[in-house]
């Protein structure tokens, strides 16, 4: 295990540390004294402090040291801008950035890519130069979708990775625990802070039997989603195991893990096996495969390992499924689908079939899809609906172009889109139906919430395997079941489609296609990061100021928010996402969705200096200009929802000092601490009612100490002052964040010492 094997073929000097992982595991084993499942092994072998870390599934917060970070281009912008403000010369953990989310599908791959390069030029230039500067691998637009590139190049068995995208778990197909996070978490790991995760529960899925005919790996996750529902995996890792595993291809396992995000799972993972070895060899990483074989005993569950829950699936009995519309957990087996279409009055005509995406664009997927298309072409018929093909990576595109599948899919009627997210993330200039017109589409993607693909709330989006997408697109109707129904050939003669076939891996090896990777240069010091001062999409972040060491007196309440205040109320998405790399511009959405308890309205608060009502961000800006710090009063579970870091950055940027609530959603609370804000809670939640929006408050910041409450003195507009006790969850390290102005400032300070 002392061998030196590099983590990937693109970076030098980063070795797989199975020796250290195994050492950590033996420490944890001697403490827990019980068999471990594989998910636990991966996590516990990456503990920052295996000796001292408290470990209880579903309870403790693990401090972890991931092997890698991956960011897509939309989320990478703010993550890198924040990282830059720490003043470090290079990322501390190997990191890559992938340009996949900003390419709109309109007329086909080449031209769509050229248009995206034009529209997003300043974002791409910023990412390319900042990656070069800070030693980050940069995958240019056209290289492919983040999760496919990670599987092809970076994932390895037993590794731990975080990625700023919800489908990061795709890499579980290669035995990696790959977890989707918000940008703030990525920044921590890039800056060498340990990463915190609540010790997940582990749900086991035991597979027996063997897939055959029209059933594919996708059907496993479609079925599991039906069983567990969109919430069933929350706080848990889904661990697949059992004799059925070895009958699946590595990329098929990737598909299953990818879509585990749809059931809310922290991640999904498969144990190391020969199919993974084959895939590593095919993607030019035989040395990693051989090394993993040496460490194989720790790359699967221990004998007798237990799961918090167990699902058993016999693959020999599994039917192909179609899930949807509007939710990925509404699972219907193909034999019952036609009845479900009629009973629910779903539009039965199929308008569009879409294959590919990060979920289902492997060589195997494309080969099977092409085998069905070829069968149809041999009978003289083609797609009856619009048909699109999204290769997951340039490597896949080039390989299926060389081997002929792409031509077959085009002959069948397919439009080949760019190697990017495209319609999967709503980057689709759809023209065939009008907004509001009910219609059905079917894809091999993972997510089908209302409006996701084409922003039309009346579109019924279904998800299934690429095989069924091709078959139904050929029939042009949702009422077709290729296992039982006949089609008519060009002469009107009836025939049945053959079940799909296709190689798992290309027998001639992968064709890498065009060179789309930018390695960081040797001389990084001379690189300057491209951000135009006049840009409205990007802005360099200045480090936040350190605490002045004083109590904060006579502060106004910017808003006393009442009821639900989610991160969406604090920092709205939609059109604002355009400004996600420009903190000052996006701050114009700060708290515009929160309800003011004074008037029951959103985005209308009183500016105490003028007496006028104005928008929340405008009022905060006015206070900031006048040098007045302010606080927010919030209700229960303030900051629930997505982990969006902008919701913590914006109040800090506009001069806020503290957010005082009845309670916090934990991630938002931590995000606020990271940005140097004070998230505080009323020790007695009823005190929330005693505060009036017009009151002023004094905060005794000098009292801040671990486990000690803080005093707030309230000065009502009319009436006697009174005090209120506030609680907090700061630990020693986090108090330093507050004192230094942010977690990043703290990191920068440490690095410069």
Nearer residue to ligand F3S within complex by CB, 393 or 408: 393
The smaller minimum CB distance to ligand F3S, of residues 167 and 321, is found at 167
Residue linked to tokens 């004799």: 243
CB of 26 to ligand F3S, least distance (A): 37
- 105 Cβ partners below 8 Å, 6+ apart? 112, 388, 390, 417, 418, 422, 423, 427, 428, 429
**Is there binding between residue 136 and ligand F3S (CB under 6 A)?**
no
Q: Which of 98, 397, 644, 662 is catalytic?
A: 644
Q: Which stretch binds ligand F3S (CB under 6 A): 175-183, 198-206, 266-274, 418-426?
A: 418-426
Which residue out of 67, 73, 165, 185 is catalytically annotated?
165
Measuring CA to CA, which residue among 219, 199, 227 is closest to residue 259?
219
The residues near 513 (Cβ < 8 Å, ≥ 6 apart) are 394, 395, 397, 398, 399
Q: Which is nearer to ligand F3S, 444 or 539 (CB)?
A: 444
Run of H or E residues at 661:
strand 656-661
Question: CA-to-CA distance for 715 and 690, rounded, in angstroms?
Answer: 11
- Strand, helix or coil for residue 213: coil
CB of 669 to ligand F3S, least distance (A): 28
Give me the least distance between CB of 697 and ligand F3S, in Å please.
43
Say whether 644 is catalytic.
yes
Distance CA 3, CA 15 (A): 9
| Closest separation in Å from C-beta 622 to ligand F3S | 39
Q: Is 537 a catalytic residue?
A: no
- Least distance in Å: CB of 165 to ligand F3S? 5
Sole binder of ligand F3S in the list 128, 421, 667, 748 (CB under 6 A):
421
My answer on whether omega of the bond before 325 falls inside 30° of 0, hence cis, is yes
Q: Which helix (H) or strand (E) holds 416?
A: strand 414-416
514 has catalytic annotation: no
According to the binding rule CB under 6 A, does residue 228 interact with ligand F3S? no
- Binding range to ligand F3S, per CB under 6 A, among 144-152, 177-185, 649-657, 700-708: 144-152
Helix H or strand E encompassing 560: strand 552-560
CB atoms within 10 A of CB 79: 25
CA gap 654, 584 in Å, rounded? 8
Residue 654, interface with ligand F3S (CB under 6 A)?
Answer: no
Give Rg (Cα) of the chain: 27
Of the candidate spans 420-428, 489-497, 602-610, 744-752, the one that interacts with ligand F3S by CB under 6 A turns out to be 420-428
The sheet with strand 160-163 has its strands ordered as 177-180, 160-163, 68-72, 95-98, 137-139, 517-518
Measured from the CB atom, the residue of 146 and 389 that comes closer to ligand F3S is: 146
Let me know: does 464 contact 322? Beta carbons within 8 Å.
yes
Shortest Å distance, C-beta 71 to ligand F3S: 12
Catalytic residue among 67, 73, 100, 185: 100
* C-alpha–C-alpha distance, residues 558 and 608, integer Å: 9
Count the residues of the shown chain that bind ligand F3S, applying the rule CB under 6 A: 13
Among 166, 535, 642, 727, the active-site one is 642
Does residue 323 touch ligand F3S according to CB under 6 A? no
DSSP structure string for 702-747: GG--TT--EEEEEE-SSS--EEEEEE----HHHHHHHHHTSHHHHH
Residue 266 is a binding residue for ligand F3S (CB under 6 A): no
Which of 165, 188, 219, 394 touches ligand F3S (CB under 6 A)?
Answer: 165
- Contacts of residue 582, defined as CB under 8 A and 6 or more positions apart, other chains included, come to 535, 536, 537, 538, 539
Q: Does 96 help bind ligand F3S (rule: CB under 6 A)?
A: no
For residue 341, state whether it binds ligand F3S (rule: CB under 6 A). no
Binding of ligand F3S by 424 (CB under 6 A): yes
Candidate list 75, 357, 367, 440; residue touching ligand F3S; CB under 6 A: 357
Pick the closest to residue 506 from 215, 283, 212 (CA basis): 283
Expressed in percent and rounded to 5, the helix, strand and coil fractions of the chain are 35, 20, 45
Separation between Cα atoms, residue 687 and residue 506, nearest integer Å: 66
Could you say whether residue 659 binds ligand F3S (CB under 6 A)?
no
Binding segment (CB under 6 A) for ligand F3S, from list 50-58, 277-285, 417-425, 527-535: 417-425
Please identify which residue in 8, 99, 145, 701 interacts with ligand F3S, judged by CB under 6 A: 145
In the complex, minimum distance from the CB of residue 423 to ligand F3S, in angstroms, rounded to a whole number = 9
Contact flag: residue 425 with ligand F3S (CB under 6 A): yes
Q: How far is the CB of 220 from ligand F3S (least distance, A)?
A: 18
Question: Smallest gap, in angstroms, from Cβ of residue 452 to ligand F3S?
Answer: 9
Taking the complex as a whole, how short is the minimal distance between the CB of residue 358 and ligand F3S, in angstroms?
3
Does the footprint of ligand F3S cover residue 358 (CB under 6 A)?
A: yes
Taking the C-alpha atoms of residue 180 and residue 275, their distance in angstroms, rounded to an integer, is: 25
Q: Cβ–Cβ contacts within 10 Å for residue 107, how many?
A: 11
Instruction: Give the interface segment with ligand F3S, choosing from 145-153, 273-281, 396-404, 518-526 (CB under 6 A).
Output: 145-153
**Between 166 and 234, whose beta carbon lies closer to ligand F3S?**
166
**Under rule CB under 6 A, residue 367 binds ligand F3S:** no
Cβ-based nearer residue to ligand F3S, 444 or 589:
444
Length of the chain: 753
Give the separation between CA 479 and CA 497, rounded to whole angstroms.
Answer: 15
Q: Which residues touch 610 (CB under 8 Å, ≥6 apart)?
A: 622
Query: How far apart are alpha carbons 496 and 480 in whole angstroms?
Result: 11
Query: How many angstroms separate the CA atoms of 585 and 145, rounded?
Result: 28
The angle, 0 to 180 degrees and rounded to 10, between the axes of the packed helices 250-259 and 217-228 is 20
Question: Which residue of the set 321, 447, 452, 728 is catalytic?
Answer: 447
Please state the closest distance from residue 144 (CB atom) to ligand F3S, in A.
10
**Residues 650, 558 contacting (CB under 8 angstroms):** no
Q: Identify which of residues 7 and 99 has a Cβ nearer to ligand F3S in the complex.
A: 99
Give residues 166-225 in contact with ligand F3S (rule: CB under 6 A).
Answer: 167
The reply to whether 446 sits near ligand F3S by the rule CB under 6 A is yes
Strand 710-715 versus strand 722-727 pairing type: antiparallel
User: 415, 388 in Cβ contact below 8 A?
Assistant: yes
Is residue 461 within the footprint of ligand F3S (CB under 6 A)?
no
**Which CB sits closer to ligand F3S, 40 or 73?**
73
* Active-site residue identified among 101, 321, 569, 668: 101
Which range of residues in 142-150, 284-292, 591-599, 646-654 is near ligand F3S by CB under 6 A? 142-150
Which listed range, 143-151, 218-226, 506-514, 605-613, lies at the site for ligand F3S (CB under 6 A)?
143-151
Tell me the window of 4-12, 274-282, 421-429, 736-744 that interacts with ligand F3S (CB under 6 A).
Answer: 421-429
Cβ at position 286, least distance to ligand F3S in Å: 28
**Cβ 578 to ligand F3S, closest distance in Å?**
17
Residues 99-128 that bind ligand F3S (CB under 6 A): 100
User: 100 catalytic, yes or no?
Assistant: yes
- The residues carrying an active-site annotation are 100-101, 165, 447, 642, 644
Per CB under 6 A, residues contacting ligand F3S are: 100, 145-147, 165, 167, 357-358, 421, 424-425, 446-447
């Amino acid at each position: 295990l002392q061998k030196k094997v590099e983590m990937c073929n693109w970076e030098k000097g980063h070795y797989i540390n199975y020796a250290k992982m195994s050492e950590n595991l033996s420490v944890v084993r001697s403490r827990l004294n019980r068999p471990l499942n594989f998910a636990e092994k991966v996590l516990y072998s990456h503990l920052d402090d295996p000796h001292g870390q408290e470990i209880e599934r579903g309870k403790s917060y693990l401090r972890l040291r991931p092997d890698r970070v991956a960011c897509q281009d939309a989320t990478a912008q703010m993550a890198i801008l924040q990282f830059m403000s720490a003043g470090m010369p290079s990322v501390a953990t190997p990191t890559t950035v992938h340009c996949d989310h900003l390419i709109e599908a309109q007329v086909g791959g080449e031209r769509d890519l050229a248009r995206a390069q034009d529209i997003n030029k300043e974002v791409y230039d910023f990412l390319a130069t900042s990656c070069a500067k800070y030693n980050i691998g940069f995958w240019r637009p056209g290289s492919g979708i983040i999760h496919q590139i990670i599987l092809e190049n970076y994932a390895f068995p037993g590794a731990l990775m975080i990625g700023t995208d919800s489908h990061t778990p795709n890499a579980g197909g290669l035995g990696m625990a790959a977890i989707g996070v918000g940008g703030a978490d990525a920044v921590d790991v890039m800056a060498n802070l340990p990463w915190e995760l609540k010790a997940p529960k582990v749900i086991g899925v035991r597979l027996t039997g063997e897939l055959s005919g029209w059933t594919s790996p996708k059907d496993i996750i479609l079925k599991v989603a039906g069983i567990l529902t969109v919430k069933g995996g929350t706080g848990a890792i889904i661990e697949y195991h059992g004799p059925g595993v070895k009958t699946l291809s590595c990329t098929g396992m990737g598909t299953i893990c990818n879509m585990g995000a749809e059931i809310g799972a922290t991640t999904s993972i498969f144990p190391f096996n020969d199919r993974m070895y084959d895939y590593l060899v095919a993607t030019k990483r035989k040395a990693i495969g051989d090394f993993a074989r040496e460490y194989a005993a720790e790359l699967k569950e221990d004998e007798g390992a237990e799961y918090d829950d167990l699902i058993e699936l016999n693959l020999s009995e599994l039917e192909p499924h179609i899930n949807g519309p509007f939710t990925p957990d509404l699972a219907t087996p193909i034999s019952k689908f036609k009845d479900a279409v009629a009973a629910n009055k779903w539009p039965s005509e199929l308008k569009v079939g879409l294959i590919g995406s990060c979920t289902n664009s492997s060589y195997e997927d494309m080969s099977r899809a092409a085998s069905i298309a070829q069968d149809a072409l041999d009978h003289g018929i083609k797609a009856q609906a619009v048909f699109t093909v999204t290769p997951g990576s340039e490597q896949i595109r080039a390989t299926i172009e060389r081997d002929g599948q792409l031509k077959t899919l085009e002959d069948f009627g397919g439009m080949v889109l760019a190697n990017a997210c495209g319609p999967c993330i709503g980057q689709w200039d759809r023209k065939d139906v009008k907004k509001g017109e009910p219609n059905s589409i079917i894809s091999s993607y993972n997510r089908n919430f209302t409006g996701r693909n084409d922003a039309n709330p009346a579109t019924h989006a279904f998800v299934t395997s690429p095989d069924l997408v091709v078959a139904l697109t050929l029939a042009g109707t949702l009422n077709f079941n290729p296992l039982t129904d006949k089609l008519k050939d060009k002469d009107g003669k009836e025939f049945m489609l053959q079940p799909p076939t296709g190689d798992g891996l290309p027998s001639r090896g992968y064709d890498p296609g065009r060179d789309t990777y930018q390695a960081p240069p040797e001389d990084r010091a001379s690189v300057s990061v491209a951000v135009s001062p006049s840009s409205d999409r990007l802005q360099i972040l200045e480090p936040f100021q350190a605490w002045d060491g004083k109590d904060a007196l006579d502060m106004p309440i910017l808003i006393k928010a009442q009821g639900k205040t989610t991160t969406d109320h604090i920092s709205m998405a939609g059109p604002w996402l355009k400004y996600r790399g420009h903190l000052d511009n996006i701050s114009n959405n700060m708290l515009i969705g929160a309800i003011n308890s004074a008037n029951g309205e959103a985005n209308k608060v009183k500016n105490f200096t003028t007496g006028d009502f104005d928008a929340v961000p405008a009022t905060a800006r006015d206070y900031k200009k006048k040098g007045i710090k302010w606080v927010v009063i919030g209700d229960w579970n303030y900051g629930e929802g997505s982990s969006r870091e902008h919701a913590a950055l914006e109040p800090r940027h506009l001069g806020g000092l503290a957010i005082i609530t009845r309670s916090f959603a934990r991630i938002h609370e931590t995000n606020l601490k990271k940005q140097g804000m004070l998230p505080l809670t009323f020790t007695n939640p009823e005190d929330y009612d005693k505060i009036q929006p017009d009151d002023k408050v004094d905060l005794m910041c000098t009292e801040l100490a671990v486990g000690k409450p803080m005093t707030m003195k309230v000065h009502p507009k009319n009436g006697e002052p009174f005090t209120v006790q506030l609680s907090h969850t700061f630990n020693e390290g986090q108090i330093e964040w507050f004192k230094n102005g942010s977690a990043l400032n703290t990191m920068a300070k440490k690095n410069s010492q």
